[in-house]
Amino acid sequence: MNAAAPQPKENMGAPLPRIDGRLKVTGQATYPADLPAANVAYGALATSSIARGRVTALHLDNARAVPGVLDIVTYGDMDAVDKPKFGNTAAASIAPLHDRKVFHDGQIIALVVAETFEAAEEAALLIRADYAEEKPSAGFDSPGATTVAAAGKSPMFKEDVKSGDFDAAYGAAPVRIDARYSTPTQHHNPIELFSTTAMWQGDQLTIHEPSQNVTGWKAELARQLKIDPGKVRIVSPYIGGAFGSKGPMTARTAIVAVAARRLGRPVRCVVSRMQAFGTQTYRAETRHRIRMGADKDGRITAFAHEGWEVTSRPDPYVVGGTSATGRMYDYGAVLTQVSLVQADRNTPGYMRSPPETPYVYALENAMDEMAVALAMDPVEFRRVNEPKAEPIGRKPFSSRSLMQCYDQAADAFGWAKRDAKVGSMHDGDWLIGMGCATAIYPTSSAPCAARVWLTVDGDVRVQSGSHEIGTGVRTVAGQMAAERLGVAMDRVSVEMGDSTLPPAPVSGGSISTASVCSAVLKACDAIRTKLFAAAIGEGGPLAGAHNEELDILDGKIIGKGGASAKVEDVLKTLRVGAIEEYAEYAPKGASPEALKKLYAGQPEFHGGEQDEDSVKYAFGAEFVEVRINRLTREIRVPRIVGAFAAGRIMNTRTARSQLMGGMIWGIGQALHEATEVDSRYARYVNRDLQDYLVPVNADIKDLQVILVPEIDREVNPAGVKGLGELGNVGTAAAVASAVYHATGKRIRDLPIRIEQLIA
């Protein structure tokens, strides 16, 4: 019952520091590869130097001759295990050691295992392969790349959304734009390197690996290894950055597990940053064409969004953000189409925020172009096109505080002081530009289980197999329990990141806080029910009181008129040391098999645009000031203000941190980040943090986050929308709009760099 949702005043939770904050900043939060492991052997990957063809021979003698080398796992050694199944749980169907076929540059051709990391590395570098090489297609515009419609081709993509007659509406519109945008290849570069440590005890396998999906990986790895999932444990208590990169399991995990079984010793493989570019997932490059028509009053009458995304040959990975962009404003007619371009590349994957970051970049850039074409203020243009219902299915929004976000952010930013005339604002040699854009992210949740204990000593213990990927979910799950059970946070402990815990869904799609807190809330409410029944029952300390009058605070059950009873005493009447409750949350609309699927590691997502009753999104508005040097064209972002509404905010500190990080990443996407692809070899060129640019402290100046209060009782029992992926949506478009305002140059291809502003 949503009515049970705790919705305190302002809907803002306390800004408590993260439970694991001190551990993380003092280096005591141990990443899986740092865990002491007795008798561990070290693995190093050898990878292909071609992007397309076959391995005809492998020369291993030089590698085997390196002192300390114990084993080399390569072709033939994986035959007894099953191939990965591409989907949400496994990153790619490419089974590198099952097949001598090479699908992409940097594909695994062997795993060397040695007594030391150094020996393994050296030996891996000495492996030579002979290839039957074919000319690869690198991506867009490469001969041989194949373009196919995403709809019907990819299980990840539901449909191209449409409404009304776009061609007629566009043809009749007095004001029109037709523009193309692009975003580059981007690679995950978390501080923590990717790693797998595999340990067998008899037939029981434990994997220590940073993971956003311990339950899903348990199931998929067991399937690949053809063993009972009950024999597999995935452990991942602390993670040094994930953002989607540790969501689906890669082929490496099973290879390391096989190596450890063969050797009869634990094997640890830490992937070099350079090799991660080819063996992990990444955000593929995207292209967009947007056509928009409006009437003279600025009402959008027609909107078409076509998107193209690069993927690998075997796997139809697609992000497809048109389900959100097609519903953003009150468009009139809508037409969308997403296409895949299959090339000789590794399979892409989720990267915060998978569909919205590139697709909303294109949409919001187009919105600014249209506002300019209409000579309207871009904020007012969005206000005029605020929808009462989304334009595809005509469903209401569960809540939509977009214009509140715009108004609060505009106010804090000082938008009113902006001179709309392009190139009109200066400070010495610096051209000043100001721009804004909308952030949107779908609100979903998935089935989730949690176990909670309340002990006679007043301690609370919470378990859920979710993942602390840096969002603060461990802390907010504790806060939910502390609040519902009336204890202070320092009495609460929270366990996560282990597949032996009650299952939680993959920590992706910004669902964790909503899903985990809804499950914890349910468990706590079951504890309250038991406690209250005992307190008011015959012989209980509050006998005769009514359930709905009761609350718990500071270890006491409080009744009407100041009557109270200690939790401790009630537990004693029950003759137990603790009340333990196990709860399973399932979202509204979940299928009858939803819980079974949760335990099997296949959680159903509900929310976003899928629900019958309403569409559910979190919103934000971001305002950016850029300064561009008149002479050098150097681009700076001295100021960024974002206001966000995301239902109940469990913890204003962790929420602010997520949104801040997102906006910083957004600045990086606007100005820095891009993987350069050598089109001759379909090879990534800048495979390290020296050449793969991300923002550093000096790039980020004044950054303000405003949390706009919002109550949404429809989204889930916790009232939480989730915001991990909201902050970086829209930022790049706001920067591009500000660059236009400063210079009159409309840069449609990210990242925006000096060279595009010269001439």
Q: How far is the CB of 185 from ligand MOS (least distance, A)?
A: 16
Q: What is the DSSP letter of 530?
A: H
Task: Kindly tell me which of 187 and 268 has the beta carbon lying closer to ligand MOS.
Answer: 187
Which residue in the set 42, 350, 430, 619 belongs to the binding site for ligand MOS (CB under 6 A)? 350
Name residue 162's beta-bridge partners: 335
CA 513 to chain centroid, in Å, comes to 13
Q: What are phi and psi of 159, to 5 degrees?
A: -165, 160
Q: What angle do CA 190, 192, 193 make, to 5 degrees?
A: 90
Catalytic residue among 122, 364, 714, 725: 725
Tell whether residue 509 is a contact of ligand MOS (CB under 6 A): yes
CA 517 to chain centroid, in Å, comes to 18
Q: How far is the CB of 614 from ligand MOS (least distance, A)?
A: 22
502, HSE (Cβ side, Cα atoms, 13 Å): 22
Q: How far is the CB of 446 from ligand MOS (least distance, A)?
A: 12
Draw the binding track, 236-275, toward ligand MOS (x: CB under 6 A; -: no contact): ------xxx--x----------------------------
Q: How far is the CB of 269 from ligand MOS (least distance, A)?
A: 22
Q: How far is the CB of 702 from ligand MOS (least distance, A)?
A: 27
State the residue number with the nearest CB to ligand MOS: 244
- The one-letter code for the residue type at 285 is E
- The one-letter code for the residue type at 99 is D
Task: Kindly tell me which of 42 and 243 has the beta carbon lying closer to ligand MOS.
Answer: 243
Q: How far is the CB of 637 from ligand MOS (least distance, A)?
A: 24
Task: Kindly tell me which of 125 and 156 has the beta carbon lying closer to ligand MOS.
Answer: 156
**Beta carbons within 8 Å of 70's beta carbon, 6+ residues apart:** 41, 113, 114, 115, 263, 265
Strands 41-47 and 108-114: antiparallel
Write the DSSP string, 111-159: EEEESSHHHHHHHHHH-EEEEEE-PPP-STT-TT-EEEESTTT-TT---
Q: How far is the CB of 353 from ligand MOS (least distance, A)?
A: 6
Task: Kindly tell me which of 194 and 623 has the beta carbon lying closer to ligand MOS.
Answer: 194
Question: Are 473 and 506 within 8 A, CB to CB?
Answer: no
Task: For residues 590 and 588, give the distance between their C-alpha atoms in angstroms, rounded to a whole number.
Answer: 6
Task: Kindly tell me which of 469 and 736 has the beta carbon lying closer to ligand MOS.
Answer: 469
369 catalytic? Reply is no
Q: What are phi and psi of 120, to 5 degrees?
A: -65, -45
Question: Are 336 and 160 within 8 A, CB to CB?
Answer: yes
Which residue in the set 210, 321, 354, 730 belongs to the binding site for ligand MOS (CB under 6 A)? 354
Helix runs in 315-439, H state only? 322-325, 356-374, 378-384, 402-413
Task: Kindly tell me which of 103 and 282 has the beta carbon lying closer to ligand MOS.
Answer: 282
Q: How far is the CB of 469 from ligand MOS (least distance, A)?
A: 7
Residue 647, by phi and psi: left (phi above 0), alpha (psi -120 to 50) or beta? left
Among the listed ranges 86-94, 140-148, 346-354, 408-416, the one in contact with ligand MOS (CB under 6 A) is 346-354
Task: For residues 209 and 445, give the distance between their C-alpha atoms in angstroms, rounded to a whole number.
Answer: 25
Q: How far is the CB of 356 from ligand MOS (least distance, A)?
A: 10
Q: How far is the CB of 283 from ligand MOS (least distance, A)?
A: 9
Burial class of residue 231 in the structure, from the number of CB atoms within 10 Å of its CB (0-12 exposed, 13-18 middle, 19+ buried)? middle
Structure tokens at 434: 């100001």
**Beta carbons within 8 Å of 588's beta carbon, 6+ residues apart:** 606, 611, 613, 716
Tell whether residue 508 is a contact of ligand MOS (CB under 6 A): yes
Quick check: helix, strand or coil at residue 495? strand
Task: Kindly tell me which of 354 and 727 has the beta carbon lying closer to ligand MOS.
Answer: 354
Q: What are phi and psi of 371, to 5 degrees?
A: -60, -40
Task: For residues 58 and 98, give the distance between their C-alpha atoms in angstroms, rounded to a whole number.
Answer: 14
Among the listed ranges 65-73, 129-137, 323-331, 349-357, the one in contact with ligand MOS (CB under 6 A) is 349-357
Among 597, 634, 641, which residue's Cα sits nearest to residue 753? 634
Tell whether residue 358 is a contact of ligand MOS (CB under 6 A): no
Task: Kindly tell me which of 193 and 434 has the beta carbon lying closer to ligand MOS.
Answer: 193
Q: How far is the CB of 447 from ligand MOS (least distance, A)?
A: 17
Among the listed ranges 71-79, 347-355, 369-377, 736-744, the one in contact with ligand MOS (CB under 6 A) is 347-355
Q: What angle do CA 449, 450, 455 make, to 5 degrees?
A: 160
CA distances to 94, 648, 675 from 655, rounded to whole Å, are: 37, 10, 29
Question: For the chain, what percentages of helix, strand and coil (3-state, to nearest 5) are there?
Answer: 30, 25, 45
Among 425, 440, 438, 406, which residue's Cα sits nearest to residue 638? 425
Question: Are 614 and 556 within 8 A, CB to CB?
Answer: no
Tell whether residue 351 is a contact of ligand MOS (CB under 6 A): yes
Among 493, 486, 460, which residue's Cα sits nearest to residue 579? 460
Q: Interaction with ligand MOS in 172-231: which residues (CB under 6 A)?
A: 212
Task: Kindly tell me which of 247 and 717 has the beta carbon lying closer to ligand MOS.
Answer: 247
Return the number of other C-beta atoms located less than 10 Å from residue 155's C-beta: 11
Task: Kindly tell me which of 284 and 302 has the beta carbon lying closer to ligand MOS.
Answer: 284
Q: How far is the CB of 729 from ligand MOS (least distance, A)?
A: 12
Task: Kindly tell me which of 329 and 350 has the beta carbon lying closer to ligand MOS.
Answer: 350
Number of residues that bind ligand MOS (CB under 6 A): 12
Q: How far is the CB of 369 from ligand MOS (least distance, A)?
A: 28
Structure tokens at 357: 């970051």
Which residue in the set 208, 291, 352, 672 belongs to the binding site for ligand MOS (CB under 6 A)? 352
CA distances to 12, 446, 448, 477, 492 from 484, rounded to whole Å, are: 15, 21, 18, 11, 12
Tell whether residue 665 is a contact of ligand MOS (CB under 6 A): no
Task: Kindly tell me which of 100 and 352 has the beta carbon lying closer to ligand MOS.
Answer: 352
Among the listed ranges 20-28, 123-131, 344-352, 357-365, the one in contact with ligand MOS (CB under 6 A) is 344-352
Task: Kindly tell me which of 13 and 509 has the beta carbon lying closer to ligand MOS.
Answer: 509
- 423-430, Cβ contacts within 8 angstroms, sequence gap of 24 or more: 423/741, 423/742, 423/743, 423/744, 425/741, 425/742, 426/630, 427/627, 429/629, 429/630, 429/631, 430/627, 430/628, 430/629, 430/630, 430/636
Question: Are 406 and 416 within 8 A, CB to CB?
Answer: no
Contacts with ligand MOS, residue ranges (CB under 6 A): 212, 242-244, 247, 350-352, 354, 508-509, 725
What residues act catalytically?
725
